[in-house]
Amino acid sequence: MSSSASSDGPRVATDVDGCVTLWADHEDWWVAEHARGQERVRAAGHRAPDGLAAGSVGGGFIAWSGTTAEALTLDGDVLHAGVSRTVPPALQAVAAVGVRGRGVLREIWCGVDAAGGVHVLGWDGESPTTTEVRVPGACGVFVNRRLRCFTVLGETVTVIAPDAAEPAPWVAGALPGNSTARAVAFDEVLEVVWRAEEHVLVAEGLRAGRLVEIYRIPVAAGVTELIVSGGGEWLLLGRDHGDDTLLNVAARREMALPDDVATATVRAFGYDARLCALSEHGVVAVDLPARAELRDVTVGTSTAAWDGRMTKTSSVALRRDPTPRPSSRRTVAGRA
């Protein structure tokens, strides 16, 4: 759904439905389905892409390696390869949006390369088209599905139309440089750009064509990664040396992660307010607290608040693939 800045491209992506996560681990791909009651993990082949991103429909992904990118769609047990096209080298992040034109729904991609080049990858009929837009310092691209546009974060917040012939970029406002902003992300529910500074999270909303600061929330220092949940209510605050936390936006409350999730290397916000820890062994899904339980907690520290709520109403479910390994590491048809 969103990708965060990374020096060598994201190698994990969750689909727009929040039900499937695809990730690359050394030379293997893994598919985790984590919709409630359908949790399972499967191997999906032995090719390691440079990067992965969500496509514009449920079960859809984009994978790229070198100068080739292809669409992938999970259909039952099969990961189908779809359209493939040449892309600029060294893409760091990609976002996709579906646009209806001439009676068909086409998926338009927007990629950010390592040199701050932003590439709108569209179609003219059946022919691929590419237009480059310069956004200094571009490090992340996010889709705003409501407005069917891309939000590129760099030295500026730049909005780009999904039209390779006429991307019509416009700058909503400036962002502080890397020395101040340690991580950035876009939330399409509140339509705000979140950025992590040393001891604070700042939210700036895109309002009437400009950035307006609306929240400044103190958090523990060291945030280097921000991931926004699909509903915008939760932020996962990643730190280089661990101590990752969750922030509930509505309550402006930071809290510790449950151990199972805190130690996981692959994590995803899932559908129906779930936080999932994914590994080749299975899915650990934690139901994030609804606001009711969150607000009812009256204990003093954020960690205790999370613990208190967890034992009260929520549940941690560990569901492993019922098929014992190694047969659980099935190769997904079409991607062997």
Contact between 188 and another protein per CB under 8 A: yes
Q: How far apart are CA 321 and CA 200, in angstroms?
A: 40
- In DSSP terms, 130 is beta-bridged to 121
Q: How far apart are CA 21 and CA 37, in angstroms?
A: 15
Q: How far apart are CA 212 and CA 99, in angstroms?
A: 28
Cβ closest to another protein, residue 17 vs residue 70: 17
Segment near another protein (CB under 8 A); pick from 26-34, 275-283, 292-300, 301-309: 292-300
Segment near another protein (CB under 8 A); pick from 83-91, 123-131, 187-195, 258-266: 187-195
**Binder of another protein out of 115, 189, 299, 336 (CB under 8 A):** 189
Contact between 250 and another protein per CB under 8 A: yes
Distance of CA 53 to the CA centre of its chain: 8
Strands (E), 146-281: 149-153, 156-160, 170-174, 183-187, 192-196, 200-207, 210-218, 223-228, 234-239, 245-248, 253-256, 266-270, 274-279
Q: Least separation, in Å, of the C-beta of 291 and another protein?
A: 6
Cβ closest to another protein, residue 27 vs residue 75: 75
Taking residue 76's Cβ as centre, other Cβ atoms within 10 Å add up to: 9
Segment near another protein (CB under 8 A); pick from 22-30, 182-190, 235-243, 318-326: 182-190
Contact between 292 and another protein per CB under 8 A: yes
Which of 139, 118, 201 minimizes the C-alpha distance to 5?
A: 139
Contact between 272 and another protein per CB under 8 A: yes
Strand order in the sheet with 127-134: 91-101, 104-113, 117-124, 127-134
Contact between 233 and another protein per CB under 8 A: yes
Contact between 147 and another protein per CB under 8 A: yes
Binding site for another protein (CB under 8 A): 16-19, 57-59, 98, 100, 145-148, 188-191, 203, 207, 214-215, 230-233, 249-250, 252, 271-273, 290-292, 295-296
